[in-house]
Amino acid sequence: MDQPRIVPNAAVSSAPGELDVRRRIKYEEELDHAFPNRIAELAHGEKFYSCIQCGTCSGTCPVSHYMDYTPRRIIAMVREGFRAEVLNSQTVWLCASCYACTCDCPRGIKITDVMYAIKREAIEQGVYPKRFPTPVLANAFFNQVMKDGRSSEGKLMMKVFLGTNPFKAFGNMLLGMKLFFTGRISMKSERIKDRKSLKALLAALDRLKEAK
Amino acid sequence: MSNNNKTPRIGFYVCHCGHNIASVVDVAAVAEYVKTMPGVVISREYKYMCSDPGQELIQSDIKEHNLNRIVVASCSPLLHEHTFRNALEKGGLNPFYFHMVNIRENVSWVHTDKDAATDKAKDLARAAIQRVWFHKPLEKKSVPVNPDVLIVGGGIAGIHAALTIANAGKKVFLVEREATIGGHMAMFDKTFPTLDCAACILTPKMSAVKSHPNITLWTYSEVEKVEGYVGNYKVTVKHKPRYIVEDLCVGCMDCIDKCVFKEAKFSDEFNQGLGKRKPVYIPFPQATPQVVLVDPDTCLYLKTGKCKQTCVEACDRKAFDFQQKEKFQEIEVGTIILSTGFQPFDAKRLPEYGYGKYPNVYTSLEVERLVNASGPTGGEVVTRDGNHPKTVGIIHCVGSRDEKTNRWCSRVCCMYSLKLAHLIKEHTHAEVYNFYIDMRTPGKGYEEFYDKLLNEGVHFIRGRVAEVTDWTLSQAEAGKLIIRVEDTLIGAVRRIPVDMVVLAVGLEPHHDAQDVRRLFNISCSSEGFFLERHPKLAPVNTFTDGIFIAGGCQGPRDIPDTVAQAGAAAAEALALINAGHVELEPNTAYIREEDCSGCKSCLPLCPYTAITFDESKKKAVINEALCKGCGTCVAACPSGSIVQNLFEDEEIFSEIDGLLKFDFSCCKPMEVNHA
Amino acid sequence: MKYLYYPGCSLKSTGRAYEESILAVFKTLAISLEEIDDWNCCGATAYMAVDECKAFAIAARNLALAEKQFKDEPEVHIVAPCSACFMVLLKTIHYMNTHKEIGQNIRKVLSEAGLKFENRVKIRHPLDVLVNDYGMDNLMRAIKNPLKGLRAASYYGCQTVRPFESFDSNRNPMTMDKIVQALGGQPVDWSLKTRCCGASLTGTIPEVGLRLSYIILHEAQQHHADVVVTACPLCQFNLECYQKKMTSAFGHKIDIPVMFFSQLLGKALGIPESDLGVKRLFVKPSKIHSGQGGKRVYV
């Protein structure tokens, strides 16, 4: 998909001793008016067009006060085609899928599904900080399950630490040992017996996708 | 076979309707084609048949050519059937010798193939020509209109309608199910945007109702049964027992003083459960009529039979009557106005706002009673734990604009929330926060009222409140209720500790609105409000002639619009009464007595309960005035003894025959397989 | 009635105690529980972020396997203790039935793997099965060691009650509280029963995840809870395993046992602690003591 030309927030004046002033106007050419349809399709026709911007989602979200753009703003930006801002925001990576927004939305919009759709779009477009844990975890999880049919938490955590910040692994070593000694973690792989049928299932899906 | 023993002399007119029909249908060809049909004397095309010259054309043709049937092919009968029937009448012909063919909505407006459209128009015209020959002369039936009016519901709508009609010299029965008239308006403290005292402007009207010679006021009464039709309704009213003889009581309230219950201890409904009353009580000081009543669920004597009855002793008018029973009374009226009002949304349905869980969460109606000088706290705003709040949060849109509860906007909550913000601030000098999604101020003076509030230092935060919680995060929040909300305009998630939360609950139909509307045989919308005949052009009429609706029962609205609607309903009723009689469409069904076998199959089928059974003759009888001509009984009658005017078998079959006739000249003979 | 059992990956590792206690409890109450043969991972929340279709497909494989295992039953009840598995399986059935294209695609690929989905499955949470199927009266009769007024704060987490309120309300659920009461305990009336613990954020964005879990434990302590009982392996992990980190990060001592409700239930039914996975707990229940009593303390 073609990325729209993004005009950077170039500094207008930022020499030492001066205010860091930037030109922030948004032109229509920078927006991607096919973006809302793309997200609607990924979230299977989600009716975020009905959003009245009431802010209940942001009000009930337990992590909204950490986000650069609250869920409500994300929906507004998706509708107007602010593709770059949405995909580059931290919002979707902070979302813990607690479904509080989906349950409280007065328009019945499945906001969690919209977040998942944006996550999938971002991962597909490769738009996220290089060693950010969430997509690394998602990909590692995905690959493990595709191969073995089950996830092996010990190996998974190792993969995540190596893929993001190996030093974190050391920080969590005490925790890891405690888990090991209480029998709550092992390094062995969990596998299903009939891996063939799972492979067939996933291959059939790939074929379905190609056919579209 | 023919009905006048005269040969048919049919006049046919096809209308161009400007470009609407003529641009698709070849109207000249249609006229030419029809001219060839047997019985057709005149076949014309004309630019605008509904115009004066067009109608005069019909009239002059009738006279000149001695026509006895007319067919017009033009627009929808819903628009101009009436026009053309009048033209026939003016031309000296019975208006029901007319049939109309729709070649606009059914042909030119929906097809693009001109040849096919023209063929279709010809087919439809042919069918009509064949049908109209079998039309019979019919007379519109005229029924008198009883000049008395029944008004159900004694809120501001019912009161205003009653006074208007009574002042016009007509007799009104005003039936109210509560013990006093006044409705919800009597509970309010001040009204927006003028901040008029609600009771001060309402009570003069209430006493006018009581003292008006033309108004019969029945409170603590309900409508039990409704029979009849427009102009002639027979209504049974049930009077619930007050255990007081109304005419004797003067409202001195000595009985309440002397009741064996020294302290009031029962939940006071008028004060929304915030105050207490005794078993013998008056709803509020200015209740009309000024008569007390006894609550059978809490009165010691009525529950146990054992009581000193100090109340009876105290009453020097001897007005008590514990033997009183339900009484039924039948009245006859010509028109009915329903002004049964609304009920507030039950805030318990939204557990996230903590109503019923946290004692300091109130509904707007409860706060109306708190700020009211005649309320349970004498106008002092104190929370249930006895404190004066220093911060108050008012949450808009509770139960409204929400897929999970009510989808509509309740129209008045923004305005009354502004009003309550003002009153609360006036009484307590607290910090007041209004949490809204949109600020809806459409009426006269409403936007100016919003501006006034903005300048009073009320905090307006645009954000729908997600939850009210007692989970606190700091010393500043200790002991308070926390409102978590996104301030969408500033762009920050905020936690606001408040002492008191006011929920601006929306308006919805009464819980028994369905039962009421079925009693009166009217429709309701999908939301449950009574349905108007047309949302723009007939807001107070219903689909049942003679029954009108006004006020909150039709949809959420403020007092000015309610009064306007009540006046409109009164005017509609007066128009009917003034006309003196109503003309009924003659397309009703009738029973050929000699053919009726008395099987009674038709009786339960009639949606308008127009069919009754004559026990002496053992035959079914159709009440012409109630019959709406739906045709159900006609189709169902096993002996075919029910006939419908304008839709008799001959008329329908000849029309079908006309449609099916095919002009074979245009195609080659078909190979027919005789196997 | 007999039930199928879907453990999910977590119950075989960090949530081992949950499986041990659930199996022990169901065995003691003689409720028939049969593990689904060769079940695969449900996909939890991580899969949905990469490929939605595949996520539904692998979840649906389990549903088809379950129907195959109980091929003669008109209704197949699957007990899924892990709340993420519970929610994902419910979501799969729901979306397959409400979105025509998804239902068609999944059914097609299942058939290519030799499986069939007949919509006979019903996903049940063990709380639902115990309170609504087995019944409170039967439960009370089976109790051997009542809890003697133990103050237990029931923590439901998100996905047991959202987005599908399949057996309890999403704001103020009571099923676990009912069990606590039946066991002789004192359920704590608090407002954070369903507030998110942070889920995987404690691993990916610890600054945020840790605080979310801390808030829950702090509030439970403020309400003088003796123990927090949960129904989700990730919640239990988040709430239990970082308590020392929370104490140092937020300067306020967090020290409260976090158990699976089935462990508490098992103790009351007289099942030995060794069968309930009690040794796997980080904060030992023998250290149960009242939370910070007296004045409410703020950070």
Average pLDDT over residues C210-232: 94
The CATH number covering residue B463 comes to 3.50.50.60
Contacts of C141 (CB under 8 A, 6+ apart): none
A149 secondary structure, DSSP code = B
Q: Inspect the interface and report whether the beta carbons of B463 and A59 lie closer than 8 Å.
A: yes
Q: Can you tell me the ipTM of this complex?
A: 0.89
- B352 CB within 8 Å of a chain C CB: yes
User: Which residue among B403, B463, B485 sits closest to A106, beta carbon to beta carbon?
Assistant: B403
If asked whether residues B203 and B337 sit together in one domain, one would say yes
Q: Extract the residue ranges of chain B whose pLDDT is less than 50.
A: 1-3, 5, 668, 670-675
Residue labelled with tokens 């005069």: B56
Choose the final residue of a domain: B109, B140, B171: B140
If asked whether residues B94 and B179 sit together in one domain, one would say no
Q: Which residue has the higher pLDDT, C21 or B675?
A: C21
The type of residue at B159 is I
If asked whether residues B25 and B121 sit together in one domain, one would say yes
Average pLDDT over residues A112-128: 91
Q: Which of B471, B481, B482, B484 to mutate to test the interface with C (most CBs of C within 10 A)?
A: B471
If asked whether residues B127 and B56 sit together in one domain, one would say yes
Residue A211 banded pLDDT, cuts 50, 70, 90: confident
Evaluate if residue A91 carries a pLDDT over 60. yes
Distance of CA B462 to the CA centre of its chain: 34
C2-5 and C32-35: which strand pairing? parallel
pLDDT at C110: 92
pLDDT at B56: 95
- Beta-carbon-side half-sphere exposure of residue C244 (alpha carbons within 13 Å): 7
Interface of B with A in 448-477 (CB under 8 A): 462-467
Evaluate if residue A202 carries a pLDDT over 90. no
What span, in angstroms and rounded, lies between the C-alpha atoms of B521 and B515?
10
If asked whether residues B375 and B482 sit together in one domain, one would say yes
List subunits contacting chain C, requiring 3 or more Cβ pairs under 8 Å.
A, B
C237: its two tokens:
């992990």
pLDDT at B583: 87
What span, in angstroms and rounded, lies between the C-alpha atoms of B58 and B92?
11
Helix, strand, coil: what percent of chain A each, to 5?
55, 5, 40
Which chain C residue's Cα is nearest to B481? C191
pLDDT at B662: 65
pLDDT at A9: 59
- B371 CB within 8 Å of a chain A CB: no
- B404 CB within 8 Å of a chain A CB: yes
- B476 CB within 8 Å of a chain C CB: no
Query: Is there a cis peptide before residue B289, judged by omega within 30 degrees of 0?
Result: yes
Residue C298 banded pLDDT, cuts 50, 70, 90: very low
The DSSP bridge partners found for residue B227 are B234
- B485 CB within 8 Å of a chain A CB: yes
Residue labelled with tokens 């925790």: A175
- B475 CB within 8 Å of a chain C CB: yes
pLDDT at C285: 73
Rounded to the nearest 5°, which phi and psi values hold at B339?
-135, 60
What span, in angstroms and rounded, lies between the C-alpha atoms of B492 and B507?
31
- B479 CB within 8 Å of a chain C CB: no
Chain A environment of C6 (Cβ under 8 Å): none
Q: Inspect the interface and report whether the beta carbons of A178 and C57 lie closer than 8 Å.
A: no
Strand order in the sheet with B172-175: B215-218, B172-175, B149-152, B335-338, B547-549
If asked whether residues B181 and B63 sit together in one domain, one would say no
If asked whether residues B371 and B503 sit together in one domain, one would say yes
Q: Inspect the interface and report whether the beta carbons of C61 and A98 lie closer than 8 Å.
A: no
The CATH number covering residue B599 comes to 3.30.70.20
Which H or E run includes B191?
strand B190-191
pLDDT at B296: 95
Whether residue B26 lies inside any domain: the answer is yes
Domain with CATH 1.10.1060.10 in chain A: 27-125
B66: its two tokens:
């001695």
B280-281 and B215-218: which strand pairing? unpaired
- Of C262, C268, C276, C266, the closest CA to residue C127 belongs to C262
Chain B environment of C169 (Cβ under 8 Å): 351
* Average pLDDT of the residues of chain C: 90
Evaluate if residue C287 carries a pLDDT over 50. no
Whether residue B649 lies inside any domain: the answer is no
- Alpha-carbon torsion B160, B165, B166, B167, what sign? positive
Q: How far is the alpha carbon of C257 from chain A, nearest alpha carbon, in Å?
A: 15
If asked whether residues B350 and B460 sit together in one domain, one would say yes
Question: Three-class SS string for B298-336?
Answer: CCHHHHHCCCCCHHHHHCCCCCECCCCCCEEEEEEECEE
CATH fold for the domain made of C2-124: Glutathione S-transferase Yfyf (Class Pi); Chain A, domain 2 (1.20.1050)
Q: Which of C6, C9, C99, C280 to mutate to test the interface with A (most CBs of A within 10 A)?
A: C9
Chain B environment of A65 (Cβ under 8 Å): 493
pLDDT at C299: 31
Which chain B residue's Cα is nearest to A109? B403
Choose the final residue of a domain: B581, B599, B632: B581
CATH fold for the domain made of C144-287: Rossmann fold (3.40.50)
Which DSSP string do the residues of A92-128 spell out, in sequence order?
Answer: HHH-----HHHHH-TT---HHHHHHHHHHHHHHHT-S
B565-600 core/surface letters (b: 16 or more CB in 10 A; e: else): bbbbbbbbbbebbeeeebebebbbbebeeeebeeee
pLDDT at C225: 92
- Beta-carbon-side half-sphere exposure of residue C118 (alpha carbons within 13 Å): 13
If asked whether residues B522 and B595 sit together in one domain, one would say no
Evaluate if residue A146 carries a pLDDT over 90. no
Q: Inspect the interface and report whether the beta carbons of A70 and B493 lie closer than 8 Å.
A: yes
Q: How far is the alpha carbon of B350 from chain C, nearest alpha carbon, in Å?
A: 10
Give the angle B406-B407-B410 at the CA atoms, nearest 5°. 75
User: Which residue among A55, A65, A73 sits closest to B463, beta carbon to beta carbon?
Assistant: A55
* Packing angle of the helix pair C175-182, C261-268 (nearest 10 deg): 20
Query: CATH 1.10.1060.10: does it fit domain A27-125?
Result: yes
Q: What is the pLDDT of residues C52-62, one digit of tens each?
A: 888 999 999 99
Average pLDDT over residues C118-125: 95
Evaluate if residue C292 carries a pLDDT over 50. no
Q: Inspect the interface and report whether the beta carbons of C13 and A185 lie closer than 8 Å.
A: yes
Rounded to the nearest 5°, which phi and psi values hold at B230?
-50, 130
If asked whether residues B386 and B489 sit together in one domain, one would say yes
pLDDT at B379: 93
Which chain A residue's Cα is nearest to B484? A59
Q: What is the dihedral of CA C29, C30, C36, C42, to 10 degrees?
A: -10
Chain B environment of C190 (Cβ under 8 Å): 471
Q: Inspect the interface and report whether the beta carbons of B493 and A104 lie closer than 8 Å.
A: no
Q: Inspect the interface and report whether the beta carbons of B471 and C171 lie closer than 8 Å.
A: no
List subunits contacting chain A, requiring 3 or more Cβ pairs under 8 Å.
B, C
Q: Inspect the interface and report whether the beta carbons of C298 and B352 lie closer than 8 Å.
A: no
Q: Inspect the interface and report whether the beta carbons of B471 and C298 lie closer than 8 Å.
A: no
Rounded to the nearest 5°, which phi and psi values hold at B495?
-115, 120
The DSSP bridge partners found for residue C258 are C228
Chain C environment of B351 (Cβ under 8 Å): 169, 171-172
Q: How far is the alpha carbon of B344 from chain C, nearest alpha carbon, in Å?
A: 23
If asked whether residues B517 and B431 sit together in one domain, one would say no
- Of A123, A177, A186, A129, the closest CA to residue A156 belongs to A186
Which DSSP string do the residues of chain C spell out, in sequence order?
Answer: -EEEE---GGGGTTTHHHHHHHHHHHHHTT-EEEEPTT-----HHHHHTT-HHHHHHHHHHHHHHHHHHTTT-SSEEEE--SHHHHHHHHHHHHHHHH-HHHHHHHHHHHHHTT----S-EEEE-HHHIIIIIIIHHHHHHT-SS--TT-EEEEE--STTTSS--SSS-SSS--HHHHHHHHTT-EE---S-TTS---TTHHHHSHHHHHHHHHHHHHHHHHTT-SEEEES-HHHHHHHHHTHHHHHHHHSS-----EEEHHHHHHHHTT--GGGGTGGG-SS-GGG----S-SS----
Q: Inspect the interface and report whether the beta carbons of A72 and B403 lie closer than 8 Å.
A: no
CA dist C101 to A118, B52, C107, Å? Answer: 20, 59, 10
pLDDT at C291: 36
Residue labelled with tokens 């060691």: C145
Chain B environment of A55 (Cβ under 8 Å): 437, 462-464, 485-488
Chain B environment of A47 (Cβ under 8 Å): none
Chain C environment of A123 (Cβ under 8 Å): 49-50
Q: Which of C155, C169, C171 to mutate to test the interface with B (most CBs of B within 10 A)?
A: C171
Contacts of B195 (CB under 8 A, 6+ apart): B419, B422
Q: Inspect the interface and report whether the beta carbons of B351 and C169 lie closer than 8 Å.
A: yes
Q: Which residue has the higher pLDDT, C6 or C54?
A: C6
Q: Inspect the interface and report whether the beta carbons of C50 and A149 lie closer than 8 Å.
A: no
Choose the final residue of a domain: B140, B165, B190: B140
Which chain C residue's Cα is nearest to A203? C109
B534 secondary structure, DSSP code = B
Q: CB B497: neighbour CB atoms within 10 A?
A: 18
- Per-domain residue ranges of chain C: 2-124, 144-287
Which chain C residue's Cα is nearest to B478? C296
Q: Inspect the interface and report whether the beta carbons of B475 and C298 lie closer than 8 Å.
A: yes
Q: Inspect the interface and report whether the beta carbons of B469 and C191 lie closer than 8 Å.
A: yes
If asked whether residues B386 and B515 sit together in one domain, one would say no
pLDDT at B374: 92
Q: How far is the alpha carbon of C57 from chain A, nearest alpha carbon, in Å?
A: 7
Evaluate if residue C290 carries a pLDDT over 90. no
User: Which residue among B471, B475, B478 sits closest to C192, beta carbon to beta carbon?
Assistant: B471
The DSSP bridge partners found for residue B70 are B11, B98
- Print the domain residue range for B155: 149-240+329-341+510-581
Q: Inspect the interface and report whether the beta carbons of B485 and A55 lie closer than 8 Å.
A: yes
Evaluate if residue C147 carries a pLDDT over 90. no
The CATH number covering residue B80 comes to 3.40.50
